[in-house]
Amino acid sequence: MPADSPIILRVAVDAPVSTVFDYLPAVGWTGDTPAPGMRVLVPFGRSRRMGMIVEVATRTGQDPDRLKPVASVLDPAPLLGTADLNFVLWAAGYYHHPPGEALFSALPARLRRSSSPLQSGAPGWCLTPEGRAGVADLTRAPKQALVVRLLLTNDTGFSSAELKHRLGDCRGALRALAARGWVEPCRIASVPRTGERASATGPELNPHQRRAVDAVRGALGGFCVFLLEGVTGSGKTEVYIRLLQTLLAAGRQALLLVPEIGLTPQLLRRLGARLDAFTVTLHSALGAGERERAWRCAAAGEAALVLGTRSAVFVPLPRLGLILVDEEHDLSFKQQDGFRYSARDLAVLRAQRARCPVVLGSATPSLETVHNARSGRYTRLELPRRAGEAVPPELLTLDIRAQPLRAGLSPVLLRLMREELENGNQVLLFLNRRGFAPVLTCHACGWVGECPRCDARLTLHLAAGRLWCHHCGWMRAVPGACPDCKETDLRPLGRGTERLEAELRDLFPGISPARIDRDSTRRKGELERLLGEARRGEIPLLLGTQMLAKGHHFPGVTLVGILELDQGLYGADFRAPERMAQLVVQVAGRAGRARRPGRVVLQTRHPNHPLLLSLQRQGYPAFAAAALEERRQAGLPPFSHQALMRAESRDEKAASEFLERAARAAADIASKGVAVLGPVPAPMERRDGRYHIHLLAQADRRSDLQAFLTTWLVRVRALKGGSNVRWSLDTDPQEML
């Protein structure tokens, strides 16, 4: 570049703006050229904001004399390499999210908020030269001697976490040694692996697993998408482990994405026992410091395996060679607010850019993924049978029309439960509704408890003595008398898990049921404790919500009863049957994982519903085929593509008026293969005191939809009168709430 050409820093500012801005280097700056991927502090409007350099250019579309200099460059080296930076920017473009906000939401929280310089490395301790010489003098301080001996094995010291892991609490010894001047605090560049050497060997693969492993191994080094479809217990995790072993032995990095609830200590233990690799985890339960260190270990290429929930899809991995997405159908891969991305879809994109294979695993793949496999874009690998000797459960539907129900249980289900319990087996009941009852009503005048802020009823939580809105969290004490007529005959209608638990105590005296839902597991450690007891067969009768449905193995469960899923067959959301079938199969997967066969009983008032019949008789793949055919005929995703514009306001009219203007703004550009439908009220129009309105854009071709959205959003952003209206766009929405 010519010596006199200016240096222009193109910056994505962490603010709700859709463009990037040009700045000049900082005043008085003489150093190296700031590079893309470094954070900067920039003047923005009347304040300062964080931003990230996305490009260093020599030209600007603006008058260079009017550009402002950045206030400061915050990082000595880029946080994101060009490929990682461009990946996030691509995602921001696809989801039509402000690029700066997207970039900053892809960083660990501490780097998002604080502008302080980064601490490199974890806090730790190392020996001083005096300490090195002094070990012989420590015969009367055994703990100090242990610390010194360990520190002697590594010139660069050990992190505090590692010291604690190896020696237990040694803060007292460290203080004493520091007082003598024998140790000093230092920073440890990376977190050394703390697990024992992996020693366990796995089972011999069955032919289906072998084929799956060979197929993916054969594709390493290039882009390819695999759907690994296997029922729960068919050995998918074993396939992941073999693939990870191959990849890590070749010195590459791997990313394993799991649903929020899937990151269990069990999985970590299992991977730790089998993989001799430095593994870091990334999920929301980590502290900010831990998270940042894990992220940096991955970005520096030190961590070989990153195990994380959805946001880990953005973690920089310089030697990425394989991406695995477990339970790919899980909704938690979709970010539902702010930067609304699908980590599953982005994993596929990322693999394409990194030229590596990606494996999407599930017993119940999303219809989008099934469709891609059927059309040949993804390679389907099937694990049709349970691994080892486990026998698959049998699914029975039970017609409960005109049946006398006790506690919502039909006579047949009750009889089956008695039999299993008498034989010392475990029974699991699934009821996807927490609380005591979904409605409290006055028998005298018909009053029902309603949320003052939502179009919703208040759920009765009897033990807590509360009426509680599950949509906005509003609550009140259970009234002693009807607020309207003052009569005291208030009655609960319907049933949640809390009521079912109480009823089961009466129906099965001497057997104490255990309930697993969000209310019963609020205390830290409680869920782990209950799941552990259930796994060891110590709880004969288990009941719970979908917290029970995922990932957990209960080898002693021989009977699963599924209550009240019918709304899934006729729900307002076109994805309701898909979600219902996925839940049924996932819950069914809890049963009979050892050598005892399991039975799954589904109570229904619609035993002849075609989708239910195909699920019951032919299993999930047949269900998926039938459901896809319905979607095709209706022109719904994955046969079309959608973007949902949501608007909300405290003012009853403002949100719908705003979307009406947005719809008008679309009128002359929507013609080309794009339909704009609405505005219509959201399924629950009033929520948390605000009115929620929807406008849906739909197109047969993704590219048409994208082109439309780009033009349309420029106009929508320019619409006036939206100050009391909040709006957002959700590309490829998964929930129509």
Closest CA to 145 of 155, 132, 135: 135
CB burial class (10 A; 0-12, 13-18, 19+) of residue 422? exposed
Select from ligand ADP, Zn ion, none the partner in contact with residue 41, using the beta carbon and a kind-dependent cut-off of 5 to 8 Å.
none
Query: What tokens does 470 get?
Result: 């599950």
Question: Which residues 236-255 are close enough to bind ligand ADP by CB under 6 A?
Answer: 236-238
The contact pattern for ligand ADP, residues 197-216, with x = CB under 6 A and - = no contact, is ------xxxx--x-------
Give the residue with the Cβ less far from ligand ADP, 206 or 711: 206
Output phi, psi for 215, to 5 deg: -60, -45
- Scored b (16 or more CB within 10 A) or e, 29-38 reads eeeeebbbbb
Position 734 contacts ligand ADP (CB under 6 A): no
Give the nearest distance from C-beta 357 to ligand ADP in angstroms. Answer: 18
CB of 646 closer than 8 Å to CB of 682: yes
Question: Which residues 472-491 are close enough to bind Zn ion by CB under 5 A?
Answer: 472, 474, 482, 484-485
Select from ligand ADP, Zn ion, none the partner in contact with residue 677, using the beta carbon and a kind-dependent cut-off of 5 to 8 Å.
none
Give the residue with the Cβ less far from Zn ion, 267 or 454: 454
Near Zn ion by CB under 5 A: residue from 212, 416, 469, 725: 469
Cα separation of 720 and 436, whole Å?
46
Residue 184, amino acid: E
Q: Which residue intervals of 389-475 are DSSP H helices?
A: 411-422
Give the nearest distance from C-beta 542 to ligand ADP in angstroms. Answer: 19
Q: What sign for the dihedral angle of Cα 190, 317, 269, 213?
A: negative
Near ligand ADP by CB under 6 A: residue from 108, 230, 577, 637: 230
Output phi, psi for 656, to 5 deg: -70, -35
Cα separation of 329 and 91, whole Å?
20
Cα separation of 261 and 722, whole Å?
38
Q: What sign for the dihedral angle of Cα 26, 28, 32, 33?
A: positive
Select from ligand ADP, Zn ion, none the partner in contact with residue 453, using the beta carbon and a kind-dependent cut-off of 5 to 8 Å.
Zn ion
DSSP single-letter state for residue 145: H
Give the residue with the Cβ less far from ligand ADP, 124 or 361: 361
Give the nearest distance from C-beta 203 to ligand ADP in angstroms. Answer: 3
- Size of the residue set binding Zn ion (CB under 5 A): 14
Output phi, psi for 53, to 5 deg: -70, 125
Position 571 contacts ligand ADP (CB under 6 A): no
Give the residue with the Cβ less far from ligand ADP, 36 or 233: 233
Give the nearest distance from C-beta 585 to ligand ADP in angstroms. Answer: 12
Residue 509, amino acid: P
CB of 334 closer than 8 Å to CB of 346: no
Give the residue with the Cβ less far from ligand ADP, 499 or 552: 552
Q: What is the CA radius of gyration of the chain?
A: 29
Position 622 contacts Zn ion (CB under 5 A): no
Select from ligand ADP, Zn ion, none the partner in contact with residue 126, using the beta carbon and a kind-dependent cut-off of 5 to 8 Å.
none
Select from ligand ADP, Zn ion, none the partner in contact with residue 471, using the beta carbon and a kind-dependent cut-off of 5 to 8 Å.
Zn ion
Residue 526 half-sphere exposure, CB side, CA atoms within 13 Å?
A: 12
Give the residue with the Cβ less far from Zn ion, 438 or 555: 438
Cα separation of 640 and 345, whole Å?
16
Give the nearest distance from C-beta 535 to ligand ADP in angstroms. Answer: 12
Strands 475-477 and 674-687: unpaired
DSSP assignment of 186-212 equals EEESS----SPPP---PPPPPHHHHHH
Give the nearest distance from C-beta 432 to ligand ADP in angstroms. Answer: 21
Residue range at the interface with ligand ADP (CB under 6 A); choices 230-238, 508-516, 576-584, 602-610: 230-238
Question: Which residues 344-403 are close enough to bind ligand ADP by CB under 6 A?
Answer: 387-388
Select from ligand ADP, Zn ion, none the partner in contact with residue 133, using the beta carbon and a kind-dependent cut-off of 5 to 8 Å.
none
Position 371 contacts Zn ion (CB under 5 A): no
Residues that bind ligand ADP (CB under 6 A): 203-206, 209, 230, 232-238, 387-388
Residues that bind Zn ion (CB under 5 A): 442, 444-445, 447, 451, 453-454, 469, 471-472, 474, 482, 484-485
